Structure 1
Amino acid sequence: MVEHSIRRFDEVSEGESLPERRVPVTRATLVHYAGASGDRNVIHWDERTAQAVGLPDVIAHGMWTMGAAVQVVTDWVGDAGRIIDYGTRFTRPVVVPHDGGASIDVSGRVTTLDPESKQASIELTVTSSGEKVLGRCRATVQLD
């Protein structure tokens, strides 16, 4: 069993940056996610269908993008159970070409700290190919 260190309130400061991460996504990633999630919409694996409905190519599942992004917070705080609230707006799809796939770039920072509850608010910036794909991406975490 891997022991995780839970982030302590007195070791965190407002404005602190979380470690940045680039998360790759390929068509295989999307097929696996479709099987696990039950979202088998054809726009997530067939470019002709995606283009027929006006998309530039196959796109990643929004929930995959949201889940991949929050992993940065999970790793930073030390336990997924410490995430009290998480929400975002989907602003642009993550386009996943057949050759080479794509990636999302995730960065975050602590925006507020509440000494009474020992909670921190985190704001994430999530982009793909230089374009913001999630907006108002925020999490609240419980610190020790």
Structure 2
Amino acid sequence: MTAIVRYADVETGTEIPEQVYPVRRIDLIRYAGASGDFNPIHWNERTAKAVGLPDVIAHGMFTMAQAGRLVTDWAGDPGALVEYKVRFSAPVVVPDDDNGAEISVSGVVKEKLDDNLVRIALTARSGGAKVLARSTALVRLA
């Protein structure tokens, strides 16, 4: 179990260490089943390439969830996430091999607010590209 982060122990500039989340095609299939998003660009290479993508891509919400996971794991409480915003800037391309892709996510506390709230700026990358832009999370700490 992750320790719960306390508001008093965090300052502006506090870094959330990078985590790397693997993404394989089977993860996309499982996510499609859970989300109901069976768009073939997320599992069929022919379809993905036919619409101009380099290969199958991860669901945007799957990518967003991995960045959110960094925050909730760090805070030690999934219910601490009050607000979460991202812009998608590049897809996570997932090749059909044993390695798949990786999403690397890190964060930094940008602002301490009233009521034990902190604003966190997130960075998410995959394949050398920034996949989420202007990503922020508002978190209520203990």
Do these two structures clear the TM 0.5 threshold for a shared fold by scoring above it? yes
Q: State the partner residue of 2:121.
A: 123
Shift, 1:130, TM fit: 1.1
* Alignment deviations for residues 98-135 of structure 1 (CA, whole Å, 9 cap, x no partner): 01210110010000001x31110001000001100000
Q: State the partner residue of 2:130.
A: 132
Q: Is 1:38 the equivalent of 2:36?
A: yes
Moved over 6 A (4+): none
What SS does structure 2 have at the residue aligned with 1:133? strand
TM value normalised by structure 1? 0.95
Report how many aligned residue pairs link the two structures.
Answer: 141
Q: Distance in 1 between matches of 2:34 and 2:124?
A: 23
Structure 2: gaps of 5 or more residues? none
Q: Distance in 2 between matches of 1:42 and 1:88?
A: 24
**What RMSD, in angstroms, separates the aligned Cα atoms of the two structures?**
1.0
TM value normalised by structure 2? 0.96
Q: State the partner residue of 1:92.
A: 90
What SS does structure 1 have at the residue aligned with 2:41? helix
Q: Which AA in structure 1 matches 2:46?
A: R
Q: State the partner residue of 2:79.
A: 81
Q: Is 1:13 the equivalent of 2:11?
A: yes
Q: Distance in 1 between matches of 2:42 and 2:116?
A: 40
Q: Which AA in structure 2 matches 1:51?
A: K
Q: State the partner residue of 2:109.
A: 110
Shift, 1:5, TM fit: 3.3
Q: Is 1:64 the equivalent of 2:53?
A: no
What SS does structure 1 have at the residue aligned with 2:105? strand
Shift, 1:74, TM fit: 0.3
Q: State the partner residue of 1:27.
A: 25
Q: Which AA in structure 1 matches 2:80?
A: R
